[in-house]
Structure 1
Amino acid sequence: MQTTVPFKKKPFRLAAIVMPILITQVALYMITFFDILMTGRYDTYHLAGVTIGSSFWVPVYTGLAGILMGLTPIIAQLVGARRNDEVKYSVQQGLYVSIVLAGVVFLIIRYGVSPILESMPLEDEVRVVAANYLEAMSLGLFPLFAYTVLRCFFDALGATRVSMAIILLSAPLTIFTNYLLIYGNWGFPELGGVGAGYAAAITYWLIFFIAFGTAWKHSSFSQYRLFNKWGRPSFIRWKEILFIGVPIGIAIFVETSIFSAVTLLMSNYSTTVISAHQVALNFSSLLYMIPLSISMGVTILVGQAVGAGQFRDAKQYSFLAVGLAMAFSTLAITILLIFREQIAALYTTDVQIIGLASQFLIYAALFQLSDAVQAPVQGSLRGYKDVNMTFIMAIISFWVIGLPVGYLTATFTDLGPYGYWVGLIVGLTIGAITLSIRLLHIQKRHIKK
């Protein structure tokens, strides 16, 4: 089959889609980044509390929000097949699903987190900060999930610059409200780590209102009439969204929860070790934004190509995405190994935490190559709507293999807390290899058709 875009132009098209996604992801990440950074400058106990709170928040939110990401390949394939009139109904049903998911997360935070915190060997001040931080952030759950639906709509159309612009407008607000509410400046109450939770909730409401107004009024999107003739909840369309989205959400939850599980296991060590671990994990998460953005971009391009029946294009975009991510991983490894002490010093002035975090960052460097393969391969598989193998392998590679290896290494070797990071590296590597084999099989099957 003839390709619709010459191969030499594909890298530029991929870059045009990925760069706005990257800026968007980094800006979203900065909300948590500045929570950790500014809380760390405030107080070590509050830093530990926000760290523990984030370890609950991130996997729960990203896992359930990942269900909504099933909309991206659905809408992308509709656009590729020129079935634009069906886009509105998918978005509307996605918003219904987002309300349900926001309610689920709210109930989990309200009633499920406190008993777990009570059972953990945490200092009382750390436990209180963690619980209050999560309750404050939960005030922004509904707008955050609803925004995720609208972002999937923008991105599936290839309009990734819109999501970028929305986040860039709102990200500075997080820093400013953190400044007011964490430290009690300009007459505002001094809330410490809890203030970071309120600041995040305020930001989530802002980005939702901006996204809603853009989808409603902007000429590029008003033609889809997303909010006209609002349909009733349709469980048939919910089934389509959930059939694709649930495996995506489970896979994301499994991947993020493994890092949170490691953080919770770190509670057996000192507050200093917890803080150092979080510093290293926080910065490595920043670096992960690039392969993650490439993954999200290639989902869009592969989805559109598959919807249009251009399977050779889909295959070429998949390989270009992996190559781009691997090129970046080389740079990331270099940065982590050379500047790890300077990176740790950005988060805290505590010399002991800086020393421990510098060691954790060595292991973070080893993540990079596996991440560079796994993330874009996952994105390509989602573009094909092939999502079940992803979550199966995520469970096996991280929880069946990675976490036990980490626990055994941490418990029975001299590596101590660093042993958990060894387990994470093993899980990432196994996942990257097996999913690559799956992608090659799917590509071969589609091209034969």
Structure 2
Amino acid sequence: MAQTTQEIKVIAKLGTPLIFSHTAIIAMSATDTIMAAQVSTDALAGLAIGASIWSALSVMILGMCGATATIAAQFHGGKRLSRIGFQVHQTAWIGFFTAVLISVILALSAVWLRWVQPEGTLTTIAIDYLQVLTLGCFGYTLAAVLRGTCEAIGDTGLAMLTNGVLFLLNLIFDYLLVFGKFGFPELGPVGCAWASVLSYWIIAIVLTIFLAKQKKYQRLNLFNRIWKPKWHVMKKHLAICVPLALGTGSEVFFFSSIALFVVPFGTLPVASHQIVINFSSLVYMIPLGFSVALCIRCASLRGSNQNVHARFSAFTGVKLATAIAFATALLTVALRDFVAEIYTPDVDVQQLVSQLLLLCALYQIADAVQVGSWGGLRGFGDTKVPMVMQLISYWVIGFPCGYALAHGLEWGIFGFWTGIIVGLCCAAVLLNFRLRKLTRQYKPQAAS
């Protein structure tokens, strides 16, 4: 019991700043959603389409930069600090090439989004939103790499501060550009995209300058030279980050793509879906913060050859995240009407949001189990099998189930949200089983 309590304290100390850090990022989306809702329901629905696409693409960037957390944490745990800079630069090159690809996809959104969705006001808003974000891809990527380096060496407080400032910048720019305050142009929902672009670049530049002057980071050899891309090293990174990006992206796109598929049901379901997805993303930051903490903790313990302790830490973290999920689920049910009123003044949207939040509460426990198990698996360097499990859970089981219920049984948006629950439950069972099987060799032997 004492060991469990001590491990919970370590995980909480590492994970709490990460929770606030990730919450600040999602709070940017919450700010965008609330301000767009004040413009009009159409503005909110158009933003919902664009934001859902950017959410999936931005997570792909984070996933492709995600090798830093595992590899740098192992070097940090093994006290090999001078070699971290070279590894971070290899991740940065991967992130750069990914940002180029994402920028092209966003720039061409006027072509492929009109092919996916018929011409209309919502589509036009979404296209304008996505094309502006093209300008922010590289700033977003640079900030992600540097922030990931901070997290990998346990400096989660700095990562939290960085994202907190990012949120405040985005809030200010949102207010100025969406509503045209203090002489700034009134851009409506597209102003949210400009706010994000400005915020990404300011944070990327300031964080680069700040880390370059810190002695702790100078020891990592991050800025004393530019390390050229080395294919034999990048292959090891890609073996981690490609499955990570595809696995994480499959989950996020599973959620965000529903905004596109509910468009035929009308503006009301699209707007309501955006609000509930945004709120659920805020709640999700709690288990996600512990998940990243578990990845860093387990990788660091493995770097110092403490595999048995790493297994114990992984399962302690999963139990902690699940226990907290029970509490957040109850709060979601109790406060669902209040949450709806915060986001929008539209009574019809409020009513549908309140109903969807009941389904949101239902899946939070399964979500905590799956993301906690996924964090432990990342810490043990296992990403390929979890990727396959995630793809199967969300796209082979969850999405077809949701689509069949939405159209076959005419449940509409409630059918898609039921599919989300089914997909997350499958992922929770499969990923937790994988974690148990992978770490079975490190299970302490019972005393004879």
Matches within 5 A, 1:9-408: 9-111=6-108, 113-121=109-117, 124-408=120-404
Paired amino acid for 1:175: L
Q: Given that residues 106 and 133 in structure 2 are in contact (C-alpha distance below 8 angstroms), is that contact kept between their aligned partners in structure 1?
A: no
Partners of 2:314 and 2:436 in 1: how far apart? 10
Shift of 1:219: 2.2
How many residues get paired? 444
Residues 216-259 of structure 1: per-residue CA shift (max 9 Å, x gap):
11122122221113222211221111111100000011001111
| Counterpart AA for 2:16 | M
Q: Write out per-residue CA displacement over residues 37-76 of structure 1, whole angstroms, 9 at most, x where no aligned residue.
A: 1111112211111100012111111023212111111111
User: Alpha-carbon deviations, 1:357-390, whole Å to 9, x = none?
Assistant: 1111111111101011001100000000011111
- Structure-2 separation of matches of 1:240 and 1:341: 48
Separation in 1 of the partners of 2:152 and 2:24?
20
Q: Distance in 2 between matches of 1:149 and 1:214?
A: 14
Contact persistence 2:64–2:95 (CA under 8 A):
no
Distance of 2:315 and 2:259 partners within structure 1: 34
Paired letter, 1:98: G
| Contact 1:311–1:447, Cα closer than 8 Å, also in 2 | no
The superposition leaves residues 11-48 of structure 1 with CA deviations (integer Å, 9 ceiling, x where unpaired) of: 11111100110111011111111111111111221111
- Residue 6 of structure 1: how far off its partner (Å): 5.0
Deviations 1:112-156 (A, max 9, x none): x22332134556221111111111122111011111111111111
Q: What is the alpha-carbon distance in structure 2 between the residues aligned to residue 332 and residue 163 of structure 1?
A: 24
Matches of 1:171 and 1:207, distance apart in 2: 10
The verdict on how the C-alpha distance between 1:415 and 1:124 changes in structure 2, with shifts beyond 3 A counting, is closer
State the secondary structure of the residue aligned to 1:187.
coil
TM-aligned CA deviation for residue 77 of structure 1: 0.9
SS class of match (2:392): helix
Q: Is the 8 A contact 1:75 1:156 kept in 2?
A: yes
Distance (whole Å) between structure 2 residues aligned to residue 335 and residue 6 of structure 1 = 30
What is the one-letter code of the residue matched to 2:420? Answer: L
Rounded Cα–Cα distance in structure 2 between residues aligned with 1:54 and 1:129: 11
2:69, 2:151 within 8 Å by CA — same for their partners in 1? Answer: yes
Q: Whole-Å Cα distance in 2 between the matches of residues 84 and 103 of structure 1?
A: 30
Deviates more, 1:232-241 or 1:155-164: 232-241
SS at 1:49 equivalent: helix
Q: Which of 411, 436, 440 is the matching residue for 1:440? A: 436
Aligned-pair distance for 1:445? 2.8
The Cα shift of 1:447 comes to 5.2
SS state of the match for residue 89, structure 1?
helix
Query: Match of 1:186, SS?
Result: coil
Q: Deviations over 1:411-442 (max 9, x none)?
A: 12252220111111111001110111110111
* 2:90 partner SS: helix
Partner deviation per Cα, 1:280-317 (whole Å, 9 max, x = no partner): 11101110000111100000000001111101211111
Q: Give the TM-score normalised by the residue count of structure 2.
A: 0.96
Letter in 2 for 1:253: G
Structure 2 spans left out of the alignment, 5+ residues: none
Contact 1:143–1:208 under 8 Å retained in 2: yes
Shift of 1:110: 0.9
Structure 2 distance, partners of 1:405, 1:239, is: 36
Q: Distance in 2 between matches of 1:436 and 1:169?
A: 35
Distance 2:397 2:409 in 1: 17
Q: Note the C-alpha offset of 1:334.
A: 1.0
Gaps of 5+ in 1: none
State which drifts further: 404-413 or 227-236.
Answer: 227-236
Residue 427 of structure 2 corresponds to which residue in structure 1? 431
Partner of 1:418: 414
User: Which deviates more from structure 2 when the two are superposed, residues 74-83 or residues 180-189?
Assistant: 74-83
Distance in 1 of aligned mates of 2:119 and 2:277? 22
Percent sequence identity over aligned pairs: 31
Mapped to 2, the partners of 1:98 and 1:438 lie a distance apart of 28
Matched residue type, 2:292: M
Q: Identify which range, 43-52 or 248-257, moves more after superposition.
A: 43-52
